């Protein structure tokens, strides 16, 4: 379905009119990992998903972004200046063009508290931080759903990164995405940990947008995806609210593997897994058989994230000494 209006027209109609900037503004947004995944759009320009999704924000791991008015656009990420020819540069400023008046340039300084080398996506936290920083720069006071709708226009999953804790993104049905935004479900559990096994930190060969599109266009298994989410999303939501870790973990692992099954059945196949990815999944299953509560989830890449209770971290580190442990409830 395509919308009658453009994202730029939608933003212009929904933002406060005032655009007189302060000297500078700074904001932080966490990364997030989906427990019930977003995979596939029903509309490209507004980044509207085919299904809902549910994630956990990564607490102190995310992006801090400082934006100041300037004579020309510039972008520094983790202390290194990016060229205007860089894709990340073009993507960020194309997004900022939606929020600023024509002719207004910005100096953007972005720092990821998640190590780039961990192979965790930083685009969700970056676009969410950009929305929050521009909001402060112009002195707007936006509500959560408005922040979330704006962040979605940068990167779909960014709409979940405007909040801490467990977050649900409602798919919505409106053509301009008015009802497609995220909302908090519950605070992070203090006992929950996410272990990250970095198989590769290299940029992925197939980006998530391209991977989604190819899957939706060519994978027959993708037809089953909305049904999978219809089953998993309420189960995960309930498990979050009831602190039922095993239901949460088992449903999240099955959901992630089902998402990868739809991609592997695309043509050309979207196969993000490396041999180490599969080896880690087998180790997770062996650990579980041995009584350790650990469940795997994977995004559009080869890295494996291990959901587990804090009490099991020491045992997991024996099997995975290089595992990086994230506490989603840790404040910045
Ligand atoms: O928002 P994008 O385009 O980076 O897509 C994210 C896709 C997954 O990470 C695989 C799933 C998700 O829900 O975050």
Taking the model in full, what pTM does it have? 0.96
Cβ of residue 57 lying under 6 Å from some atom of ligand 1: no
Whole-number Å distance, alpha carbon 104 to ligand 1 midpoint, is 30
| Average confidence (pLDDT) over 102-112 | 96
Residue 332: pLDDT over 80: no
What is the pLDDT at residue 202?
82
- Cα–Cα distance, 39 to 50 (Å, whole number): 8
3-class DSSP assignment, residue 155 = coil
Other beta carbons less than 10 A from residue 243's beta carbon: 12
Q: How far is CA 332 from CA 28, 61, 238, 252, 329, in A?
A: 9, 8, 27, 26, 9
Whole-number Å distance, alpha carbon 34 to ligand 1 midpoint, is 8
- Cα–Cα distance, 202 to 55 (Å, whole number): 24
Using one digit for the tens of pLDDT, what is the confidence trace for 113-160? 876 656 677 899 999 999 999 999 999 999 999 999 999 999 999 999
Residue 239: pLDDT over 60: yes
Using one digit for the tens of pLDDT, what is the confidence trace for 289-322? 999 999 999 999 999 999 999 999 999 999 999 9
Cβ of residue 155 lying under 6 Å from some atom of ligand 1: yes
Report the atom number in ligand 1 closest to the C-alpha of 123.
Answer: 4
What is the pLDDT at residue 45?
96
Whole-number Å distance, alpha carbon 157 to ligand 1 midpoint, is 5
CB contact set of 140 (below 8 Å; sequence gap of 6+): 15, 16, 18
Mutate which of 50, 300, 305 for ligand 1 pocket (most atoms within 8 A of beta carbon): 300
Whole-number Å distance, alpha carbon 38 to ligand 1 midpoint, is 6
- Cα–Cα distance, 146 to 134 (Å, whole number): 13
Residue 80: pLDDT over 80: yes
What is the pLDDT at residue 85?
97
Using one digit for the tens of pLDDT, what is the confidence trace for 214-229? 999 999 999 999 999 9
């Amino acid at each position: 379905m395509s919308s009658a209006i453009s994202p730029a027209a939608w933003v212009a109609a929904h933002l406060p009119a005032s655009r007189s900037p302060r000297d500078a503004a700074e904001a932080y947004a966490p990364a997030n990992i989906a427990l019930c995944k977003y995979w596939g759009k029903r509309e490209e320009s507004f980044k509207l998903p085919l299904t809902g999704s549910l994630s956990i924000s990564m607490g102190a791991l995310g992006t801090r972004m400082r934006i100041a008015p300037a004579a020309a656009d510039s972008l520094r990420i983790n202390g290194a200046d990016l060229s205007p020819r860089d894709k990340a540069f073009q993507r960020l400023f194309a997004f900022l063009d939606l929020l600023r008046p024509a002719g207004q340039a910005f100096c953007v300084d972005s720092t990821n508290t998640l190590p780039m080398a961990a192979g965790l996506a930083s685009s969700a936290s970056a676009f969410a931080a950009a929305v929050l920083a521009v909001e402060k720069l112009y002195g707007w006071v936006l509500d959560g759903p408005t922040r979330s709708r704006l962040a979605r226009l940068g990167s779909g999953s960014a709409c979940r990164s405007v909040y801490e804790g467990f977050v649900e993104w409602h798919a919505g049905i409106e053509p301009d995405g008015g009802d497609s935004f995220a909302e908090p479900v519950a605070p992070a559990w203090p006992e929950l940990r996410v272990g990250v096994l970095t198989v590769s930190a290299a940029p992925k060969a197939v980006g998530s947008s391209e991977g989604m599109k190819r899957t939706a266009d060519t994978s027959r298994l993708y037809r089953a995806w909305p049904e999978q989410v219809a089953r998993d999303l309420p189960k995960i939501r309930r498990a979050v609210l009831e602190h039922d870790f095993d239901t949460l973990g088992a449903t999240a692992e099955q959901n992630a593997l089902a998402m990868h099954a739809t991609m592997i059945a695309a043509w050309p196949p979207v196969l993000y897994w490396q041999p180490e990815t599969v080896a880690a999944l087998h180790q997770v299953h062996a650990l579980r058989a041995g009584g350790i509560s650990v469940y795997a989830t994977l995004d559009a890449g080869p890295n494996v994230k291990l959901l587990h209770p804090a009490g099991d971290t020491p045992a997991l580190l024996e099997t995975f000494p290089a595992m990086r442990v994230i506490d989603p409830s840790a404040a910045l």
